[in-house]
Amino acid sequence: MTTWDQDALISPPIRPIGGPSEHPTVNPIANQSIRLGIMASGSGSNFEAIVQAIHSGQLNAEVPILIYNNPTATVVERAKRLGIPSICLDHRQFATRELLDQAIVEVLLSYQVDWVVMAGWMRIVTPVLIHAFPNRVLNIHPSLLPSFKGSKAIEQAFESGVKITGCTVHHVVTEVDSGDIVMQAAVPVLTNDTLETLQARLQIQEHKIYPVAIAIAVGQRISEN
């Protein structure tokens, strides 16, 4: 039987607080609470994983606002349950991507957000947002970038025949899915996988790495709670 040590396939490795620092950007003045504005379009399982990591003490942050763009997105149910304020900015109500992003920026600034976290945000963002929060916009993408950029990344990987795929947390730049990589986890494509089983295993890793990647990006020390 094949076994798969998934934790060996996360990079940079997750180390307990107090352990040797594995990452050169870890900031010794660590663990100042940061305000995260989260953007989501769908189910919001990554949004919830981040909020749960805050509740468990793994990540020292607050989420003053969730922005979602689909009135029917079920992420709003999670936000209600978790007590996170939310606002819908329906992209259909804006003539251009830039106007949507300008509205997003205004909301984020009004909630005094420090960092922007795209958690299943299915719209291309423009320099209007990216330049309002320079080097402080993160995204999670369901592939091992730079492979399989763009939409339907899991399908792209599945259909390509690769044996290992994964997920990536990266900085957002104007070129889609191309900013500096913060953290990745590898996920095997098993012979009996369907798209659904692969996606389910991939999301487990997303939920594990996104809170840690945020901590790394903002310069907090990381824990493996």
Query: Minimum distance between the CB of residue 124 and ligand GAR, rounded to whole angstroms?
Result: 9
Contacts with ligand GAR, residue ranges (CB under 6 A): 40, 42-46, 119-120, 140-142, 153, 167, 203, 206
Output 35 or 123, the one with its CB closest to ligand GAR.
123
Q: Which of 91, 141, 170, 207 is catalytic?
A: 141
Output 58 or 205, the one with its CB closest to ligand GAR.
205
Output 168 or 223, the one with its CB closest to ligand GAR.
168
The position carrying tokens 């468990």 is: 56
Query: Minimum distance between the CB of residue 3 and ligand GAR, rounded to whole angstroms?
Result: 25
Query: Minimum distance between the CB of residue 58 and ligand GAR, rounded to whole angstroms?
Result: 17
Q: Return the SS3 of 86.
A: strand
**H helical segments located in 124-221:** 127-132, 153-160, 195-218
Output 46 or 69, the one with its CB closest to ligand GAR.
46
**What angle do helix axes 45-55 and 195-218 make, rounded to 10 degrees?**
40
Cα–Cα distance measured from residue 185 to residue 208, given in angstroms and rounded to the nearest whole number: 9
Query: Minimum distance between the CB of residue 76 and ligand GAR, rounded to whole angstroms?
Result: 12
Q: Which two tokens stand for residue 34?
A: 């940061």
- The verdict on whether 131 is a catalytic residue reads no
Strand order in the sheet with 86-88: 10-11, 181-188, 164-171, 137-141, 115-118, 34-40, 61-68, 86-88
Distance of CA 35 to the CA centre of its chain: 15
Query: Minimum distance between the CB of residue 21 and ligand GAR, rounded to whole angstroms?
Result: 27
DSSP string, 17-67: TTSPP--TT--TT----EEEEEEESS--HHHHHHHHHHHTTSS-EEEEEEE
Output 81 or 106, the one with its CB closest to ligand GAR.
81
Q: Which two tokens stand for residue 76?
A: 């709003």
Residue number with the smallest Cβ distance to ligand GAR: 120
Active site residues per annotation? 141
